[in-house]
Chains A and B, each alone.
Chain A
Amino acid sequence: MNENLFASFAAPSMMGLPIVVLIVMFPSILFPTPSRLINNRLISIQQWLIQLTSKQLLAIHNQKGRTWALMLMSLILFIGSTNLLGLLPHSFTPTTQLSMNLGMAIPLWAGTVITGFRYKTKASLAHFLPQGTPLPLIPMLVVIETISLFIQPMALAVRLTANITAGHLLIHLIGGATLALINISATTAFITFIILILLTILEFAVALIQAYVFTLLVSLYLHDNT
């Protein structure tokens, strides 16, 4: 177990040079560009998955919303692949860094809001006041809705960071506990190992779910504004 539990979340460097950029760019290697009409198995499976996801994500959008198809699909592929690669032992997960997730969430959210204000100014402003609000509550609700709008990108980023970080921390802790218990009690160590296996399966699911949730929320914000 690491002497410092958070050592694995530090930005990695090799011979004094930061390699986080290489790590962020690495998942793109796993998605080769299709160059033929009928491709190899890897690309065919990836294309099938992308088609399935894009159909589901973009079904609610109108013409304007569908111009964001490439952005949304790139987002879900990037976050999903980064999260899954982070489950490899001793690897660095970029999505555990709040700075990275804020860097994704804020521009995307701002893009949707600016699009809404630009093309549907009246509806975007009216959105701050729910229909049917009693007169005395109007100022308070407008303030609350404004605050909830500005919290959206923060919630997006913090949700992803917290989920992935918490999962990795738990794996570290339970893995360390399993190792420590081997010499003390083999039975307890075995039970802890089973828990570790189940947790790892859960983390695989969480990695994909968090990617989907992030993209879905961005898609919903876009739908509200187009």
Chain B
Amino acid sequence: MAGPETDAQFHFTGIKKYFNSYILTGRMNCVLATYGGIALMILYFKLRSKKTPAMKATLTWTSSVKFRCLEKLMSTHHAILNLYNKL
């Protein structure tokens, strides 16, 4: 392990005061920022949608009211045809 930290000899300003690789606090903050960045990347890849735009368009169309009306019309048409064939 390295000798005792001589944080007093380093004088940083601005963001370097909190994120540097010399003083204890700076090193800790860099480590935490790295872990936070990795966690955010994992979260982003897990939560992003896996569907392509074409799939999204198809799903939007199939869940729309117009599509449901068409579907019902087709099923009614098939039912009438079957009844006619039976007669």
Q: Is the CB of B30 within 8 A of A138?
A: yes
Q: Is the CB of A122 within 8 A of B25?
A: yes
User: Does any Cβ of B come within 8 Å of A125's Cβ?
Assistant: yes
Alpha-carbon separation in the docked complex, A122 to B38 (Å): 20
Which of B1, B25, B34 has a CB less than 8 Å from the CB of A224?
B1
| Chain B facing A: main interface SS | helix
Q: Is the CB of B1 within 8 A of A129?
A: no
**Residues in A whose Cβ lies below 8 Å from that of B38:** 143
Q: Assign chain A's interface to a size class.
A: 10 to 19
Interface residues in A111-147 by Cβ distance below 8 A to B read: 122-123, 125-126, 128-135, 138-139, 142-143
Interface residues in B24-61 by Cβ distance below 8 A to A read: 24-25, 27-28, 30-32, 34-35, 37-38
**Residues in A whose Cβ lies below 8 Å from that of B31:** 125-126, 128-129, 142
Alpha-carbon separation in the docked complex, A131 to B31 (Å): 12
Alpha-carbon separation in the docked complex, A136 to B33 (Å): 14
Nearest-neighbor residue (CB-CB) of A143 within chain B: B34
How many A-B pairs have beta carbons closer than 8 Å: the answer is 42
User: Does any Cβ of B come within 8 Å of A223's Cβ?
Assistant: yes
Can you name 20 A-B residue pairings with CB atoms under 8 Å?
A122-B24, A122-B25, A123-B24, A125-B28, A125-B31, A125-B32, A126-B25, A126-B31, A129-B27, A129-B31, A131-B21, A131-B22, A132-B22, A134-B21, A138-B30, A139-B37, A142-B30, A142-B31, A142-B35, A224-B1
| Chain B proximity of A226: nearest CB distance (Å) | 10
Q: Binary interface profile of B, 1-15, with partner A (CB < 8 Å = 1, else 0)?
A: 110000000000000
- In the complex, the 9 A-B pairs of residues with the closest C-beta atoms, listed nearest first: A126-B27, A133-B21, A142-B34, A129-B27, A125-B28, A128-B31, A126-B28, A126-B24, A139-B34
Alpha-carbon separation in the docked complex, A134 to B34 (Å): 14
**Residues in B whose Cβ lies below 8 Å from that of A139:** 34, 37
| Chain B proximity of A122: nearest CB distance (Å) | 5
**Residues in A whose Cβ lies below 8 Å from that of B32:** 125
Nearest-neighbor residue (CB-CB) of B35 within chain A: A142
**Residues in A whose Cβ lies below 8 Å from that of B28:** 122, 125-126
Alpha-carbon separation in the docked complex, A125 to B25 (Å): 9
Residue of A132, A134, A138 with most partner-chain B CB within 10 A: A138
**Residues in B whose Cβ lies below 8 Å from that of A131:** 2, 21-22, 27
